[in-house]
Amino acid sequence: MEVEQTALPGIGLRHDFTTQSGKRIGVVSHRIGRRDLVIYDREDPDRACEVVKLNDEEADALVELLGAPRIVQRLNQAHQEVEGLVSLQLPIPATSRYVDRPMGDARVRTRTSASIVAIVRSGQVFASPGPDFVFAAGDIVVVVGSADSTSEVADILAEG
Amino acid sequence: MHHTAILFLEFGAVLLGLGVLGALALRAGISPIPLYLIAGLAFGTGGVLPLATSEEFISVGAELGVVLLLLTLGLEYNADELVTSLKSNARAGIVDLVLNAAPGAICALLLGWGPVAAVAMAGVTYATSSGITAKVLTDLGWIGNRETPTVLSLLVFEDLTMAVYLPVLTAMLAGLSLVSGAITVAIALATVSVVLLVALKFGRYIEAFVSSPNSEVLLLKVVGLALLVAGLAQQLQVSAAVGAFLVGIALSGQLAHDAQALLAPLRDLFAAVFFVFFGLQTDPTKILPVAGLAAALAVVSMLTKLATGIYAARRAGIAKAGQARAGIALIPRGEFNIVIAGLAVAAGAHPDLGPLAAAYVLILAAFGPLAAKLVQPLFEAIAKRA
């Protein structure tokens, strides 16, 4: 994909490119900070048939909407690219002996050399939990490590 | 009545009247410049409401208006843009110059006004109003269009041409001999080159001197510097307007944007005064006899601007509808043309030059933006059929 940059003397810059489906879209960056999202006419490719004026806040919001899913995708790809590294999401069953006990009691790192990087509890993410983090039934534990060590973690957490 | 009382009454009434006219123009979607000119015609010599006391005050205000107009125009562009535009669009720029200076010059020569008036009229028909054109582009959503960079760089080229043209015109109007005229022009050219060079290489030093976190200090420094250089330029016969324009170019970046925002209200006030003043100097009874001529000149120079736009856009690889849009966007004439005519009138050019220029700009400042709006549906039809 090639993004074309054109100077607009006295106004600012224009960036535009053609999407795979053949639509040409662009962004006019005004020097005063305003952004225009422009979509070009299929029949008259020189004409912007749709101009959406965005202030700073709106432009940021749009960037987040368009950009965030892509960032997640890239992270997933990065994981796959590191050979031998596995990321698993393991549930804590209600029957687990670690329910209502601090994470340190499981001694996951010492026993398996895999790391617990996050806990997901009812949609909320607790990143890098400490050893005193108390597990609850239904928590999802995100573990990173080798294929063997992560499956060992699964066994530990499921212990009754 | 006390002198100050009359001055305030007259000047206040003029400004209030302009405000009301501006509101009307806004509602009709046209540039207020033609209405300001009409207001000036009504107040001036031979008009319905001649001003007695405030004319002198208005004339000083008008001079300030020209300086501020050119200063803010210079602030819009930075030296890099000017140089790039000069390099990449020189050919289209020269076509623009030749095609559009010709109607005015030929008209003046046919009327037997002499070579000096021909040079002045050439300027009147040449320059597109970058103010009105920028507004048309914004209002119609044409900023993102692919022909717009072509239009904008033609405007930049025209403004740069003005930096050379105005001193030449000033020298010719002053009736200088060939030798002293040539010296003046050489000084002007040297000044323009030096300022461009300084702006490119040492712009940050000027900015370091001018810039201030306090908007009041910034305003005083920028206006002070512009007036000082304008006065110096006037003394060197280079024209005050060019001096102010060059100060604007020398300032760039964030500083230029801040200064532009600060100066905008001041410029709007004094530029309106300037248009009124030009109208004041023009006798409305003299407009009617030249109206037909002005209309013919307007039609011819509309066609030449259209041709310019088509030529320049085609060179940039734009399709037919876009070429026509580029031409249409270039049609409006406005502040610069009146500045040029104002210089000629002040120097005592042919008495019909003022009324002709006034009628001409009245037509094109009003019709240019309307033409763009009216023709838009037509383009869509053309594009669909092609």
Q: What's the mean pLDDT in A83-96?
A: 81
Per-residue CA distances from B41 to B167, B344, B355 (Å): 28, 18, 10
Residue of A nearest to B130 (CA): A10
Say yes or no: A14 contacts chain B, CB-CB below 8 A.
yes
| Structure confidence by residue, pLDDT tens digits, B329-339 | 999 998 889 88
Q: How confident is the model at residue A71 (pLDDT cuts 50, 70, 90)?
A: low
Q: What is the rounded end-to-end Cα distance, in angstroms, of chain A?
A: 54
Nearest-angstrom CA–CA distance, B192 and B172: 18
| Structure confidence by residue, pLDDT tens digits, A1-45 | 788 888 888 788 899 999 988 899 999 998 877 899 999 988 888
Tell me: pLDDT of B87 over 90: no
Cα A112 to its chain centre, rounded Å, is 27
Q: What token pair was written down for B62?
A: 């008008």
- In this structure, chain B runs to a length of 386
CB atoms within 10 A of CB A126: 13
A115-121 β-sheet, strand order: A86-91, A140-145, A115-121, A124-127
Q: What are phi and psi of A121, to 5 degrees?
A: -125, 120
Tell me: pLDDT of B312 over 90: yes
User: Complex ipTM, two decimals?
Assistant: 0.70
Model's pTM, two decimal places?
0.73
| Structure confidence by residue, pLDDT tens digits, B278-307 | 888 888 888 889 999 999 999 999 999 999
Nearest-angstrom CA–CA distance, B116 and B108: 9
Nearest-angstrom CA–CA distance, A99 and A121: 13
Amino acid letter for position B368: G
Q: Following DSSP, what letter does each residue of B4-15 receive, concatenated? A: HHHHHHHHHHHH
Distance from CA of B76 to the nearest CA of A (A): 5
Check if the beta carbon of residue A93 is closer than 8 Å to that of residue A104. no
Q: What are phi and psi of A51, to 5 degrees?
A: -125, 120
Mutate to test the interface with A, among B76, B143, B310, B376 (most CBs of A within 10 A): B143
Q: What's the mean pLDDT in A50-63?
A: 88
Mutate to test the interface with B, among A36, A39, A47, A50 (most CBs of B within 10 A): A47
Tell me: pLDDT of B386 over 70: no
Look at residues B220, B199, B195 and name the one whose alpha carbon lies nearest to residue B210. Answer: B220
Mean pLDDT of chain A: 83
Question: Which pLDDT score, from 0 to 100, does residue B52 have?
Answer: 67
Alpha helices in A25-146 (DSSP H): 56-81, 108-112
Tell me: pLDDT of B313 over 90: yes
Look at residues B188, B199, B283, B197 and name the one whose alpha carbon lies nearest to residue B234. Answer: B188
Check if the beta carbon of residue B258 is closer than 8 Å to that of residue B218. yes
Tell me: pLDDT of B96 over 80: yes
